[in-house]
Structure 1
Amino acid sequence: MTLDKIIKRIFSVPTVPLHEQFIAKEIYAILSEYPQTKIEIDEYSNLYVSIDSTQNDRSIPLLLFTAHMDHPGFYSDEEGRIFLLGGIDESYLKEAPLTFYREDNGEQVCECKLKSFKIAGNKKSVECKPAPPPNSMGMFNLPPYEIKNGFFLSRACDDLVGVCTLIHLLIRVASKKLNTKIAVLFSRAEEIGFWGTLAFLKKKTLNPQNTIMVSIETSQARGYCSIDQGPVLRVGDKTRLFDANVVAWLQKAMEEYKGVQSGFVYQKKYMGGGTCETTPFMEFGYAGAALCLALENYHNMGSDGHITMESVSMKDWEELCSFLEWFVTYPRDLETLAVKRKERMLALQQEAVERLKENRLF
């Protein structure tokens, strides 16, 4: 299945935090066509998909990717109370156009405008006119997606771009029978506090000492990086810096890939616009970093103060996909790289001591 077909299936259905069922069902349906993929659904409804052609060789660390299935949105509960789920600045909400969908089948049921907003404790409640029916999920009234002038625009790039990227990767690995050991966590409710990821970590399914974790995200470009200048090797997020060994390993791979793929470029940046799933994984003992695409209009908040479509560069996206397909068979020699760095520093130290003694000032 091509990336175009994956995009059509994933971006055509609604999603909001805690109500990602339509995305999850599409992921399951698509990947079920590839018997090499092992699909597991945990008790929290995260999807964990793995491919291991190494016969579970424990000498090879697991390469774990993550992407989340939700995007900030709205939910009308069984009593018709409407809540904002996810981080959107209040200044963007007044008169914002919304579309609501039935929770059971995803059919559109209402178009309305957001009239008021208030925070009560940890809940953000809103009023809409006309009022959407109970048990419906709302997104900003924007096109599901479109491609224009080399850019991919959508109501929910964050993080359905990551979801599509990793579905595509799993399909390519399965179809080409690549010799690798990878897994993908498609998580829930990231936008309201990493709930899916934290629940997954609570189970202690994986061994942090034998897992390399890489988040696949889109991240706010403004103030941090350039859009259309290649995928981003993310060295840190709003909360913390990432693992230096994983970052160095990814950078080495991306530099080598330049010799494989003519014209490939990437950016190495601190992306402080938000916090990604690498942070909770690292807090629970995993070595991790992230790859992302530069995102315009983060969480649909346009530079003009109005709600608008998020966007990423199609060129950046295609380069990320091609790199990941090559990267999954790249040697996982993080310890060797660390030893070589230390050896280089020791050699430089010895040279420094000798030369400084030869060139005393006093």
Structure 2
Amino acid sequence: MSQAKHDRATAEQWLLELTSIPTAAGREDRVIAWIREWVGGRDDLRLSCDASGNLVVDRKDGGTPGATPLYITAHLDHPAFVVEKILNDGRVEMGFRGGVRDAYFRDAPIVIHPSGGGAVRGRVESTEQQEPYRKCVVRLEDGGEVEVGDIGVWALPDAEIVDGIVHTPACDDLAALAAALAAMDVIRGIDRAGHVRLLFTRAEEIGFIGAIAACRDRTMTPGAKVLALENSRSFAESPIGGGPIVRVGDRMSTFSPALTAAVCAVCETLAKEAKEAGGEYKWQRRLMPGGACEATAFQAYGYEATCVCLPLGNYHNMADLDLVERGDEAAVAHARCGREYIGVEDYHGLIEMLIACATRLDEAPDVVAKMEKLFADKSFVLG
């Protein structure tokens, strides 16, 4: 069966644009504005917000009657600084909303993006881990003006694709968000895929807050299936370039066996069809226990959920993280943040997977039926 294709050049353009937008937990406004403009250019789609500001994208016609909704989800934030207090001596107090190790804050250069535009450079003078998140004192270097609520990010080079690798300030989770939009741009033209919707959540980096709110508020239809998209730290057994990963679980839980198996079956079909056509479709199936993701939250509140992720380098912008975690003195002393990176073919593979899941999840073999056939064929050995 031939599958509708996405426009690779356009998908890469969206990837570079979205992953360059400053965003933070509770301050996702710029990303939301980009999505609002994207949806506004498509007459058949609509954008709505729940009480907590999470976004839902679906068809204006309501989709396929009677079909179980399938939500493809991604989060809108990335670890970043937020101005909390102006100290009036060329310094500001900022909260860091997300998880980054202590060594990376030492004298770190950052860029603050005022709500009115422009950029103000600064440098971290001191930092202290507090609740609900780390506090930093930042000295402004440009003499510019900032306000409470402005976002600060690590001072990093611009996004680019080099030798098949996407280097960009914030893959997690904006690369997954870009993939969801690129897939939806194709899915919206498939008549039998009207049950597919997108959910974009806020404040994931400080504890799945938007996802929990969406579950509590029943933003997603009860009984819906959920594919949570993530960018997860790559290890030797989950390499960049090995394809998107069907994540069977995380540090906190294992995900829906039936839905995970169905996604794996879709990937197996894609790989088989690619091979028959003389090509290759790469994908991986892994536990990925290094962290936790929103699929755990969705499942805890009763949804059938699993996760698909992109293998990620420089997780949360932490360069040489393996060495820093091992306590290498030189690495710790010179720890600096860098751009996150993913494989561009992994990104395209994720888009292909999502398009296929829109129409093929229900075609996956029934595991119980398979067990029953095995029993019928070979139960004679039991006497």
- With normalisation by structure 1, the TM-score equals 0.90
Distance across 2 between alignment mates of 1:169 and 1:108: 32
Residue 122 (1) aligns with residue 136 (2):
no
Query: How many angstroms does 1:14 deviate by?
Result: 1.1
Query: How many angstroms does 1:257 deviate by?
Result: 1.0
Contact 1:230/1:267 (CA < 8 Å) preserved in 2? yes
Distance across 2 between alignment mates of 1:196 and 1:54: 24
Residue 338 (1) aligns with residue 364 (2):
no
Contact 1:208/1:287 (CA < 8 Å) preserved in 2? no
Residue 186 (1) aligns with residue 193 (2):
no
Distance across 2 between alignment mates of 1:150 and 1:331: 30
Query: How many angstroms does 1:109 deviate by?
Result: 3.0
Select the residue among 63, 79, 83 that pairs with 1:76: 83
Residue 157 (1) aligns with residue 186 (2):
no
- Number of residue pairs the alignment of both structures matches: 348
Q: 1:66 maps to what in 2?
A: 73
Query: How many angstroms does 1:52 deviate by?
Result: 7.7
Select the residue among 288, 294, 297 that pairs with 1:277: 294
Query: How many angstroms does 1:348 deviate by?
Result: 6.8
Pairing 1:43-54 to 2, within 5 Å after superposition:
43-51=51-59
Distance across 2 between alignment mates of 1:51 and 1:148: 36
Query: Which whole-Å deviations, capped at 9, do the CAs of 1:193-217 have from their partners, x for residues lacking one?
Result: 11111111111233442x1111111
Distance 1:322 1:52, change over 3 A: farther
Query: How many angstroms does 1:192 deviate by?
Result: 0.6
Distance 1:129 1:248, change over 3 A: same
Distance across 2 between alignment mates of 1:351 and 1:155: 60
Q: 1:29 maps to what in 2?
A: 37
Distance 1:93 1:57, change over 3 A: same
Distance across 2 between alignment mates of 1:205 and 1:122: 26
Contact 1:182/1:328 (CA < 8 Å) preserved in 2? yes
Query: How many angstroms does 1:324 deviate by?
Result: 1.8
RMSD of aligned C-alpha atoms? Answer: 2.1
Pairing 1:1-362 to 2, within 5 Å after superposition:
2-51=10-59, 55-58=63-66, 60-77=67-84, 79=86, 80-102=92-114, 104-105=115-116, 107-130=117-140, 133-135=146-148, 136-174=150-188, 176-180=189-193, 181-209=195-223, 211-222=224-235, 224-261=237-274, 262-303=279-320, 304=331, 305-332=335-362, 337-344=366-373, 346-347=375-376, 350-354=379-383
**Alignment gaps of 5+ in structure 2:** 1-6, 87-91, 321-330
Distance across 1 between alignment mates of 2:97 and 2:169: 15
Query: Which whole-Å deviations, capped at 9, do the CAs of 1:86-145 have from their partners, x for residues lacking one?
Result: 01111211111110001x23x233111112111233231101122773322101111341
Which AA in structure 2 matches 1:279?
T
SS of equivalent to 1:218: strand
**Alignment gaps of 5+ in structure 1:** 355-362
Distance across 2 between alignment mates of 1:302 and 1:8: 20
SS of equivalent to 2:366: helix
Query: How many angstroms does 1:78 deviate by?
Result: 5.0
Query: How many angstroms does 1:302 deviate by?
Result: 1.1
Query: How many angstroms does 1:333 deviate by?
Result: 5.2
Query: How many angstroms does 1:53 deviate by?
Result: 7.0
Contact 2:16/2:168 (CA < 8 Å) preserved in 1? no
Query: Which whole-Å deviations, capped at 9, do the CAs of 1:248-272 have from their partners, x for residues lacking one?
Result: 1111111111133330021110111
4+ residue runs of structure 1 moved beyond 6 angstroms? none
- With normalisation by structure 2, the TM-score equals 0.85
Query: Which whole-Å deviations, capped at 9, do the CAs of 1:211-259 have from their partners, x for residues lacking one?
Result: 1111111100125511101111110111111111111111111111113
Identity of aligned residues (%): 25
Distance across 1 between alignment mates of 2:82 and 2:263: 39
Distance 1:324 1:84, change over 3 A: same
Distance across 2 between alignment mates of 1:216 and 1:72: 17
Contact 1:53/1:179 (CA < 8 Å) preserved in 2? no
Query: How many angstroms does 1:8 deviate by?
Result: 4.2
